[in-house]
Amino acid sequence: MEGAKAASVEGLVDCLIQNDVSNFRGSDFEEMLNFSIQNLRYTESNVPKPSVLIVPQSKREVQAAVTCCRQQGFQIRVRSGGHGYEGTSCTAEEPFAIIDLVKLNAVNVDLASETAWLQAGATLGETYHAISQASPAYGFSAGTCPTVGSGGHISGGGFGFLSRKYGLAADNVVDAEVVDANGVLLNRKSMGEDLFWAIRGGGGGCWGVVVAWKVKLLPLPPAVTVFNVSRLGLHTVTDLVYKWQTVAPNLEREFYLSAFVGANLPEAPNQGISATFKGMYLGPKTALLKSITSVFPDLGIESHDCEEVTWIQSVLFFSGLAPAQIHDKNNLRDRYLWDKNYFFAKSDYVREPIPESAIVGVCKILQQEPRGYIIMDPYGGKMAEIESDSIPFPHRAGNLYDIQYLVAWYDDNSNEANYIAWLRKLYAYMTPFVSNNPRAAYVNYTDLDLGTMSLFSNETSPVDIARKWGEKYFLRNFERLVHVKTIFDPENMFRNLQSIPPDMRLRDTI
């Protein structure tokens, strides 16, 4: 309750109770608060905590929660799976309440229309599981981590291992239900195409409370082929990563081939610098081998490296589970599947191949910190065919791949500053080799180093401040997002340190 007047908190709680809204406080409060926070940096005692944690069990309760927060002057943070990199769904610099959608996690599949309604509290694992239960012939294009919430993931775009075939998660949304700043429940027809455009990739927690998405089911073959191979040594890693840059984005769209590089990867612990290549092909092993050996023979993929599995088993495979666990798809519904850790991350987009000398430099920096690594996800395929303004996510044609830089630690947080400084050094080293003007970033890999609204002053327009990160995340789509925000949330009810602000100069003219 720190930062809020007791009377205001009591007023909020009274309003929630009067509207039969579930909320946690007392002995349940801390447990429920920390349950979904995946980055332990935001469970520390010095991190601001919400005054009330609201756990609605229906759309009506979400509407009432928004109305009560507005009446009582509380900021709102919306939490789906709690995987936000910078804690924007669970922290604030002013009195706030969290609306946690954990109990709104139903997935209703309609095979006749080849669509499904996902409540925003459903994890990706729960989504994949429900679709697979309905029919093994369909899947959905989204990320590899099963405990990520669909609400935030789709709100930022949602890249995954089917994106080269079918585009992002947000590219495959056909309807949605959103509670706006006035507590009104809207669907695509009633919200209009501008707001519907903004919520599909314009960042989470900024436009209202998305309570459900209607998505297209995507046809898949009865068998897919997967592999996961590691290669060791500075010379080998440099050579393979250099070649991967032009191979992976140009493979047929049925092929997804990512690369991980680090000095202590799980597949090669304590073996120095290594690269792990994770691949999936939407088809049989024979077709995969024919494709990969013709364009990337140096990778040395052989038949025994590959396994034909169902699509739902490939989801388990890419989630990092042991081979014995990928045959039990019920693991996808386990919200405790992974241990939590402390982490810090940044991102980049690469439009031209990075020279071999620079890859050597990256590897040498990675050798300095065994807790750090990079992930490179290939674009191309369907990603390159979708227009950059079709949804707010703009990173389409011309991008070879994106890079995610991470450092993660499980011990206490006393060395946080050193880990973060190391990652920032790696990011700075990469400056000449990545996109520029602006140096682009992926909004789902939230990076507060790019700027925050906490720098706001009366002399500076909020829009001009937000442009520092907004144009990196959204490129030319930033201006349209500001316009939509000004129309639909002119009082900036839904905001965080990196949200899109309304343009107060235009508020009275729109």
Check if the beta carbon of residue 255 is closer than 8 Å to that of residue 225: no
283 phi-psi bin (left φ>0, alpha ψ -120 to 50, beta other): left
Whether 445 is catalytic is yes
User: Which two structure tokens, joined as six digits, stand for 510?
Assistant: 């729109």
Instruction: Give 247-281 as a DSSP string.
Output: HGGGS-TTEEEEEEEESS-TTSTTS-SEEEEEEEE
Rounded to an integer, what distance in angstroms lies between the CA atom of residue 378 and that of residue 355?
A: 17
Task: Give the other-Cβ count within 10 Å of 336's Cβ.
Answer: 8
SS3 384: helix
Rounded to an integer, what distance in angstroms lies between the CA atom of residue 167 and that of residue 165?
A: 6
Nearest C-alpha neighbor of 56 from the set 8, 117, 119: 119
How far CA 381 is from CA of 211, 387, 464, in Å, comes to: 31, 13, 35
Nearest C-alpha neighbor of 390 from the set 193, 223, 229, 219: 193
Check if the beta carbon of residue 166 is closer than 8 Å to that of residue 464: no
Catalytic residue among 256, 349, 401, 445: 445
- Residues annotated as part of the active site: 445
